[in-house]
Structure 1
Amino acid sequence: MENRSKLTMSKVIERFSYGCGDFGCNIIYTAMSAFLLFYYTDYAGVNAFAVGTIMMVSRFFDGISDVIMGVIVDRTRSKYGKARPWLLRMCVPFALSGILLFSVPTSWASAPKLVYVFITYNLVSTVIYTAINVPYSALNALMTQDPYERSVLSIFRNLLATAGTLTINTFTLPLVEYFGDNTSAWTKTFCVFGLLAVAAFLVNFFGTKERVRSVASESGNAEVVPFKVGIKALFRNKYWIMMTGMLALFFLMYSVNGGATVYYAKDILGDRNLVGTINGIFNVVQIAGMFFIAMLVKKYGKRNVFALGLVLDIIGMLVLNFSGGAISLIVISSVIRGVGNACGGATMWAMVSDTIDYGEWKTGVRTEGLVNSACSFGYKIGNGIGSALLGLILEVGGYVGEAAAQSASALASIKVCFVWIPVAVYLIGLVIMKFYHLDREFDGIIEDLKNRAKNKQEV
């Protein structure tokens, strides 16, 4: 009984440690999605469309670096495994690059400022974030092949990711105000967040272990998979294609919706501090919902729980859009969307990990790093397009950062970004899920892979 208790506690600690990685990642990711464009336009005095264009162009570089990092992860050999060494190596550079991102020299002219934005944005997203997030994304598939445990790990990942998002959404503006509500206040704020991110990644590194090896590794015949072979295998993996497309759309939506939140609160609802109310309740409910999602996944499967989340997200967005600014309806909307996001967040990354096993079964090639980096390539392209789209729509709508009141077209553009683009993405997601059947095929696939490994060992 005592040994069982120790085993259970050990599992909980490892799950928590795994989730801490996305807590650290979200320190920068949420800041970039929710506040970076606002910081650039309203504090650093940089043109929204120019910044959006830089973000979009940079995401293409970022996508290429993701694939390169995926290959590096697959070829990494160390006593810590394939992915974990990179968490340790990159945690401090990650924190420093985030500080630089929110340190635009405001005394500079427009052109030099844009050069600074281009360099620091690419340092963060193309180099540093990629070098830590791609290995982290591969870690789930390297820790276990048990589909339920993967779902639980994904739940912990989303729990801690949501906690990271909640931390940024709740404390960024209050800390900025505490430090003086000027450009240097943003730098000081991200010095605090940087230390928090380093601590999270250290917990992630020391608290997890890689256990899964390919069939070839199990039989002692492991070889480095050539890049061309790995890429061809990816495009024979129909479920990977579906999840990559889904992620690209979702992160386009996250970028547009997340970046528009502060504008929606400030200009539609009339109080920028409602960002804390909208996101705070949403994140708290999402965290609470995570404790019940594992039971739903066990009973109904990842795909069905994910689809349920999409339906709830649509309902929540429509309630908010027609709330008329009523606090009670804003709260109800945040609760509904929080439950919806709990369903999606708890299953999405576990579904990506499942496509790795399907790919190995289908093609004989297992590439955790390449699968996750190519997914990352897709969603970062989506994120980059979303960032540019947000800036473009605001610019076309006539948004002026320093204006006391926005025009009707500017307000309409904010609603398009915050409400209608997300609703469209959720609907497309429901269509994609109609063709996703890996849940019911997965047990047979794992059994077949185990038999292949056993037969190779006997030979």
Structure 2
Amino acid sequence: MGKKKQKVLYDADGARRVMRKRDYMADMGGQLAIGVMANLVGQLTYFYTDKVGMAVGGVGIAMMIAKIIDALTDVLVGNMIDHSKGGNKKYYSWMLKMAIPAAVIIIMMFTVPIQAGQTAALIYVLVTNLLLTAVIYTMIATPFSAVMIVRTHSQSERSNMGLFRAVGNYGAGTIIAIITIPVTNMLGGTQSAWIKYGVALALGVLLLFLICYNNGRKAKFASDYESESENASETEEEEAVPFKDAIKMLLQNKYWVIVLLFNLITNITAAVAAASGTYYAKWIFGNDNLVAVIGAAGMLATVIGFVVSKPIISKLGVTKTIQLGLMGAAIPSLIRCFIPENFMVYAATSLVASFIQIPLMCLYGVLTAMTVDYNEWKYGKKLVAMSGGAIGFGSKVGSGLGSVILSAFLAIGGYQASLESATASMRYSIYGFSNYLPLVVNLAMFLIFTRFDLEEKLPKMREEVLARKEKK
């Protein structure tokens, strides 16, 4: 018997659907692994200060240096990938190359040689953070973010990928936030316990990367179907643009700059929120295990948020959904500014903030795809991988800067992990990064995003691009 022919499906815009259920699941798994690496950075400040015994000021400086260097790598790697050959499958090949190094560096993050002294430990922290974020994470996350753009031309499938990736990314943050403290405490609460925890995370990340790569190398991209049609010439690899010209194009694309800021700022607040919960539970409520209770409540809000994300985005559109999410994150922080010491208020506002931001998180890749379409309209070049660097930059640099900002607040507040109870300055430093900071940055991002009017312009732009191609 012959093989059953697969039914060809198209979305409402006439774009061919190419994604299968297992594609979404494998893609979500890849994002989950990437998310674990990013969210792990947010927990390191607490580990370095309270478990290893490093000076909080030194930790902040080391993390800041790592992030300054790290900030340069995304667009450089993106440009390198844009210049590489191998068709669309090249975006997955980097995941295979970096899978084992990723697992190794996760374990190394916890093997800080504090017995060699503060200086040696700080150098170790700097080097391992650079390897984790500036090298390995970038080599995986930058091409992976570009996959959403080249995998399918269907806007609805891109939105679905964004939803599944948001589930993976948020799931990673939730898992790290909920289990890190209870599990490491159960294992003894020492540095050795955190190393064991790191080994378990590393093995999970390695497995997820291998599954995602294996599915991706077998998958059919939209361009694979186009190459079988009369439009095969349109799917040829785009001629690479010199780095200097490419970065100039991107910086002149105000929408890419807005998306870059959006990813950066939202990931800063997410990283601070993930780490601040532990400090808040320990010093304000007197029990760091309460962070698991708060995380569990947030899990319920997350599940509901993902269920309603698709209808919310369909109803409001991309821009209004993001504005709702930013304002929805600012209001709970405002409430905590006036009622900072009530556990029920803290848990409830955390739950609301988690819920209302979920639809927003589903749109990172969709926003980047929109800026790629704008690049093609304005410059005749998509700059896929370099544009995708906005997501990678926001995720890893945002997470790292979150740790730097948190360390700065702690240092200013005279943080001392050895005290039995928090001093007044310590309490206000915790209120600062937990309540005041998210209020200010979310309101600022809301104002910035009022200038993002690309959504309404894109249909006409795409028509003009298609008309240009038909003339060639």
Q: Which residue of structure 2 aligns with residue 264 of structure 1?
A: 280
Kindly indicate whether residue 203 of structure 2 is the aligned counterpart of residue 195 of structure 1: yes
Structure 1 residue 305 displacement after superposition = 0.7
Deviations 1:342-367 (A, max 9, x none): 02201233112211111111111111
2:141 corresponds to 1:133? yes
**1:340 and 2:351 matched:** no
1:180 equivalent to 2:196? Answer no
Matched, 1:20 2:29: yes
- Where 1:43 maps in the other structure, the secondary structure is helix
Contact 2:83 2:240 survives alignment (8 Å): yes
Match for residue 32 of structure 1 among 27, 41, 58 = 41
Q: Secondary structure at the match of 2:420?
A: coil
Match of 2:161 among 150, 153, 160: 153
TM-score by length of 2: 0.89
How big is the shift at 1:373? 2.0
State whether residues 283 and 427 of structure 2, in contact with CA within 8 Å, keep that contact through their aligned partners in structure 1. yes
SS, match of residue 83 in structure 1: helix
Shift of 1:91: 1.3
Alpha-carbon separation, structure 2, partners of 1:199 and 1:323: 43
Equivalent residue number for residue 14 of structure 2: none
Instruction: Name the counterpart of 1:398.
Output: 414
Do the aligned partners of residues 256 and 217 (structure 1) sit closer, same or farther apart at CA in structure 2, a change above 3 Å counting? farther
> Which residue of 67, 72, 77 maps to 2:80?
72
Bigger Cα displacement from structure 2, 1-10 vs 297-306: 1-10
Which amino acid is the alignment partner of residue 123 of structure 2? V
CA distance in 2, matches of 1:148, 1:6: 12
Paired residues in the alignment total: 455
Q: What does the per-residue CA deviation read over 1:119-152, in whole Å, with 9 as the maximum and x for residues that have no partner?
A: 1111111111111111111111111232222222
Counterpart in the other structure of 1:46: 54
Q: Is the aligned partner of 1:415 residue 2:415?
A: no
Corresponding position: 1:63 with 2:79: no
- 2:405 corresponds, among 383, 389, 408, to 389
Matched, 1:310 2:364: no
In structure 2, the CA distance between the partners of 1:290 and 1:375, relative to structure 1 (3 Å rule), is: closer
Q: Distance in 2 between matches of 1:81 and 1:379?
A: 23
2:38–2:395 Cα contact (<8 Å) kept: no
Which deviates more, 97-106 or 141-150? 141-150
Q: CA RMSD in A?
A: 2.7
SS at match of 1:272: coil
Give percent identity, aligned residues only.
27
SS in 1 for 2:72: helix
Change (3 A) 1:232 1:171: same
Partner residue in 2 for 1:143:
151
Aligned amino acid, residue 211 of structure 1: F
Tell me if 1:281 matches 2:297.
yes
1:94 aligned partner: 102
How many angstroms does 1:90 deviate by?
0.8
- Which stretch shows the higher mean deviation, 164-173 or 354-363? 164-173
Relative to structure 1, is the Cα distance of residues 133 and 41 closer, same or farther in structure 2, using a 3 angstrom cutoff? same
Q: CA deviation at 1:170?
A: 2.0
Residues 150-195 of structure 1: per-residue CA shift (max 9 Å, x gap): 2221111011111112221222222212322211111110110111
Query: Matches of 1:374 and 1:434 in 2, distance apart?
Result: 19
Between the aligned partners of 2:147 and 2:214, the Cα distance in structure 1 is 13
* In structure 1, distance between residues paired with 2:375 and 2:19: 31
Once residues 150 and 197 of structure 2 are traced to their aligned partners in structure 1, the CA distance between those partners, rounded to angstroms, is 35
Question: Closer, same or farther in 2 for the Cα pair 1:4/1:319, shift >3 Å?
Answer: farther
Matched residue SS, 1:404: coil
Aligned AA (2:445): G
User: Could you list the runs of 5+ residues in structure 1 that have no partner in the other structure?
Assistant: none
Match of 1:248 in 2: 264
With the length of structure 1 as denominator, give the TM-score of the two structures: 0.92
Q: Distance in 2 between matches of 1:227 and 1:385?
A: 26
Question: Is contact 2:318–2:363 with CA below 8 Å preserved after alignment?
Answer: yes
Q: 1:375 to 1:14 in 2, by over 3 A?
A: closer
